[in-house]
């Protein structure tokens, strides 16, 4: 899978909490669109087909109607018809998403909107520096439905200084009454260099944590699937574009600060609009480019994969590199091992890692490993006590003592056959009651 991200770096007014690269110099939008179109022509040619498109910002809807038309024509000329993307998203804010713009966006082939709500409380919106009110959001939301959009995301913020759980619950009740297909909810982060950073208001982390778990429980009761730390969706409405990020898929980014990833190489454009406009003319718009090492790739797989609520499947590379840290965090109660959505005992992971380590050690010494002996030494819930076969079931015909180097017929990988055990889909995930502190857990886990 491959995606496209386009950063539109303009806003009417910058929110007090925002540290994203953006500009209020709307008079530069025409020049920017010319430069952006030129950047499209310099894109990586190795990707033949793109599945998702995401136009973010900034505020894309702040562009004038004629500028939006030019943007969509440029995208079509460079990447093909927008309607052919599996998912095409445009971010909007209520104060700039007039009905005629929504109709234009829909006619261009865009099939998904992401709308900024943040809060329904007037005092909280003023504190955040938002231009639009909750009635403005309602008006825009109804206009988007009327324009034909059947897939809408709404953004919420919690943990705002002074905000109560009762206020946040009211936000959730009002939003879910509208039944958007997707909800993204983020704890307010106060960054240096922003107006809120200068004000430095006190945040109640305990109250924010309570709001987060209130969010999870409330939305699950409303049949929203919690599929990523901050994201919830009705069945089948998960963000395909963002899932591609978390799965480390390929994507190309265009515009100031946009990042790209392809074949384990990352590059990022300069975040400055001025430098972007000048450097693109010289073909030097990239701030940096790096080839990811094997360690970088494994770290990214864990950081991004563990953001997903279902976690990440454990293969040989991750087990060999991280088994001690995974065991330690599981013993502390932060992580759990599972097959599908069903938790399994930590002994399942211990057995799998021990077998894999032994088999690779023997392979380095040029001898075959005694897998039967290893399994008899360490019996655990990963294996059926009746058959000594993997937990995937006593009737599993794939559970054979494979020769080192043979491909597993189910996963098409060599990890399974190295350990002589059918891949059982053993995963690791962050426990639900520790999701709020996931960043701390991930920083403790990754390899420096």
Q: What are 342's strand-pairing partners?
A: 339
240 and 323, same domain (yes or no): no
Has residue 224 been placed in a domain?
yes
335 and 212, same domain (yes or no): no
245 and 318, same domain (yes or no): no
Has residue 161 been placed in a domain?
yes
| Percent helix, percent strand, percent coil in the chain, to nearest 5 | 45, 20, 40
Q: Which domain holds residue 372?
A: 312-434+438-444
What is the Cα–Cα distance from 378 to 347, expressed in whole angstroms? 9
pTM for the structure as a whole:
0.84
What is the Cα–Cα distance from 115 to 195, expressed in whole angstroms? 23
pLDDT digits (tens, 9 = 90+) for 205-257: 999 999 999 999 999 999 999 999 999 999 999 999 999 999 999 999 999 99
Has residue 258 been placed in a domain?
no
Q: Of 174, 167, 180, whose CA–CA distance to 210 is shortest?
A: 167
CA 422 to chain centre: 30
Has residue 291 been placed in a domain?
no
332 and 428, same domain (yes or no): yes
209 and 333, same domain (yes or no): no
Contacts of 62 (CB under 8 A, 6+ apart): 8, 10, 11, 12, 26, 93, 96
Has residue 119 been placed in a domain?
yes
Has residue 62 been placed in a domain?
yes
240 and 320, same domain (yes or no): no
Tell me which residues of the chain have a pLDDT lower than 70: 281-285, 344-424, 447-448
Q: Which of 250, 275, 304 is where one domain is finished?
A: 250
What is the Cα–Cα distance from 300 to 313, expressed in whole angstroms? 14
Token readout for 394 is 């006593």
Q: How many domains are contained in the chain?
A: 2
Alpha-carbon distance values, 283 to 46, 99, 262, 406 (Å): 19, 38, 19, 47
Alpha-carbon distance values, 225 to 49, 99, 150, 234, 436 (Å): 29, 30, 18, 6, 17
Phi, psi of 69 (to 5 degrees): -60, -45
What is the Cα–Cα distance from 177 to 445, expressed in whole angstroms? 39
Check which CATH number belongs to the domain holding 244 and give it.
Answer: 3.20.20.70
pLDDT of residue 416: 42
User: Locate tokens 């950047």: which residue?
Assistant: 39
221 and 357, same domain (yes or no): no
227 and 350, same domain (yes or no): no
What is the Cα–Cα distance from 354 to 370, expressed in whole angstroms? 12
222 and 360, same domain (yes or no): no
What is the Cα–Cα distance from 222 to 226, expressed in whole angstroms? 11
232 and 379, same domain (yes or no): no
Token readout for 284 is 């030097």
pLDDT of residue 426: 80
pLDDT of residue 245: 96
- HSE value, Cβ hemisphere, 13 Å, CA-based, for 52: 24
Q: Which of 250, 274, 298 is where one domain is finished?
A: 250
Helix, strand, or coil (residue 378): coil
177 and 323, same domain (yes or no): no
pLDDT of residue 235: 95
352 and 210, same domain (yes or no): no
Has residue 149 been placed in a domain?
yes
User: Locate tokens 């002996």: which residue?
Assistant: 373
Contacts 24+ apart (CB under 8 A), 28-34: 28/273, 28/277, 29/63, 29/64, 29/67, 30/67, 31/277, 32/255, 32/273, 32/276, 32/277, 33/67, 33/70, 33/71, 33/74
Has residue 282 been placed in a domain?
no
Q: Which of 250, 270, 290 is where one domain is finished?
A: 250
């Amino acid at each position: 899978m491959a995606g496209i991200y386009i950063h539109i770096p303009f806003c009417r007014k910058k929110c007090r909490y925002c540290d994203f690269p953006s500009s209020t110099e709307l008079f530069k939008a025409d020049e920017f669109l010319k430069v952006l179109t030129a950047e499209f022509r310099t894109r990586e040619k190795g990707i033949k087909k793109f599945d998702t498109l995401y136009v973010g910002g900034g505020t894309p809807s702040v562009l004038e109607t004629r500028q939006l038309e030019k943007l969509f024509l440029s995208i079509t000329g460079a990447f093909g018809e927008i309607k052919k993307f599996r998912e095409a998203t445009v971010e909007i804010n209520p104060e700039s998403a007039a009905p005629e713009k929504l109709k234009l966006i829909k006619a261009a082939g865009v099939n998904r909107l992401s709308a900024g709500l943040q809060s329904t409380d007037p005092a909280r919106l003023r504190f955040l520096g938002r231009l639009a009110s909750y009635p403005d959001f309602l008006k825009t939301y109804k206009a988007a439905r009327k324009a034909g959009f059947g897939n809408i995301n709404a953004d919420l913020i919690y943990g705002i200084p002074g905000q109560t759980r009762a206020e946040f619950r009211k936000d959730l009740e009002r939003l879910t009454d509208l039944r958007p297909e997707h909800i993204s909810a983020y704890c307010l982060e106060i960054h240096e260099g922003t107006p809120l950073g200068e004000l430095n208001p006190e945040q109640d982390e305990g109250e924010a944590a309570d709001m987060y778990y209130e969010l999870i429980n409330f939305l699950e009761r409303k049949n929203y699937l919690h599929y990523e730390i901050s994201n919830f969706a009705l069945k089948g409405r998960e963000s395909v574009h963002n899932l591609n990020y978390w799965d480390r898929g390929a994507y190309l980014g265009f515009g100031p600060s946009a990042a790209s990833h392809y074949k384990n190489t990352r590059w990022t454009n300069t975040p400055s609009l001025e430098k972007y406009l000048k450097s693109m003319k010289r073909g030097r718009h990239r701030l940096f480019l790096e080839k990811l090492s094997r360690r970088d790739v494994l770290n990214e797989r864990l950081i991004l994969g563990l953001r997903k609520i279902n976690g990440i499947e454990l293969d040989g590379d991750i087990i060999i590199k991280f088994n001690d840290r995974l065991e330690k965090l599981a013993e502390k109660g932060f992580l759990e091992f599972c097959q599908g959505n069903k938790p399994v005992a930590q002994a399942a992971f211990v057995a799998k890692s021990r077998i894999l380590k032994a088999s690779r050690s023997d392979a380095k010494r040029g001898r075959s490993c005694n897998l039967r002996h290893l399994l008899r030494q360490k019996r655990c819930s990963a294996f059926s006590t009746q058959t000594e076969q993997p937990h995937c079931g006593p009737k599993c015909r794939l559970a054979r003592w494979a020769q080192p180097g043979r491909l597993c017929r189910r996963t098409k990988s060599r990890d399974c056959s190295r350990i002589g055990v059918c891949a059982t889909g053993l995963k690791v995930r962050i426990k639900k009651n520790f999701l709020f502190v996931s960043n701390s857990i991930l920083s403790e886990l990754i390899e420096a």
